[in-house]
Amino acid sequence: MNLRIAITGSTGLIGEAVVAHFLKQGALVTRMIRPTSKIQSKENYISWDINSGLVSKDALEGYDVVIHLAGANLADSRWTDAYKKVIYDSRVKGTLRISQILSELKNPPKLLLSASAVGYYGAYETHEEITEASPVGKDFLAKVCYDWERATQMAQQKGIRVVNMRFGAVLSSKGGALAKMLPIFQSGMGGKLGNGTQGFSWIALDEIPLIMDHLINTPTINGPVNVVGFQAVTNEQFTKILGEVLSKPTNIPAPAFAIKTMFGEMGEVLLLKGARVVPKKLKTSGYRFRYLTLESSLRKCLE
């Protein structure tokens, strides 16, 4: 029998790739969208409001998997107090509502794949490899991720298997951080950010649906899973490899003070700090990565 999958955040960069993948696999995919959202085709959808949590509960009865990706973009604005609240509420409150809805179903899904991020770990000054067992960080983003994951507890208590997908930076020429960097690097103006020693945890966009396939089909996996590439790198290494793939120099660094001035706390946390996060659970559970190196991933997505 084909899987029945409901997905929030389906119109985002990751969501569109996931929807396309599972439709191709023959799954019945239902988008959970805001009443004001516009979809380009007559696909299945359920109208829901992330702020009020309003959704027809009957509409979610009998699904096999719910994939929850909805959340405000971290890099859309400076992190003012107001935008921090938007970030926090869109992730934590939205996930609480989804978790509550699923916990009240007569026929709940067997699995909830809920987004999180490697920001959970905060910043590491050393090159220590960070696994799912590493402790939570201390900055704003770490707190968001910690509460975001805890918000799935009602679903867990209902007996639903929950996987918290801690995404690294998603590599795609269609959107996300790489798409914003490309014009700079293609003009030969690229360079490392700050001192370049900060960890850069990445994942190719087209690897993500394959990882979700693996998570769905491996019932022993639950809790946090680092959805990051096989090879951990630093920002300086990422910069060098991207320059080589584009055949462009990368000799113009962006000093830390300039990034802090331009972007404030958002720039400091997202661009100047990081950790070398490794996909330990994926490796030990037998997942076979499509890309074993950052270079192979970049070459593919920039074809």
Q: What's the CATH number where 116 sits? A: 3.40.50.720
Residue 270 resides in a domain: no
Residue 61 resides in a domain: yes
Length of the chain: 303
Task: Kindly report each contact of residues 40-44 with a partner whose C-beta sits within 8 Å and lies 24 or more positions away, as own/partner.
Answer: 43/19
Residue 125 resides in a domain: yes
Burial 207-219 (b: 16+ CB within 10 A, else e): bbbebbebbbebe
Which 3-state string (H, E, C) describes 123-144?
A: CCCCCCEECCCCCCCCCHHHHH
Domain enclosing residue 13, as ranges: 4-167+204-228
Q: Total structural domains in the chain?
A: 1
Residue 278 structure tokens: 């490794």
Residue 44 resides in a domain: yes
Residue 109 resides in a domain: yes
How do the pLDDT tens digits run along the chain, 303 residues long? Answer: 589 999 999 989 999 999 999 999 999 999 988 766 665 555 687 877 666 655 666 788 999 999 999 888 888 888 899 999 999 998 999 899 999 999 999 999 999 999 999 999 998 877 889 999 999 999 999 999 999 999 999 999 999 999 999 999 999 999 888 888 899 899 999 999 989 999 999 999 999 999 999 999 999 999 999 999 998 899 999 999 999 999 999 999 888 888 888 778 878 878 888 999 999 999 999 999 999 999 999 999 998
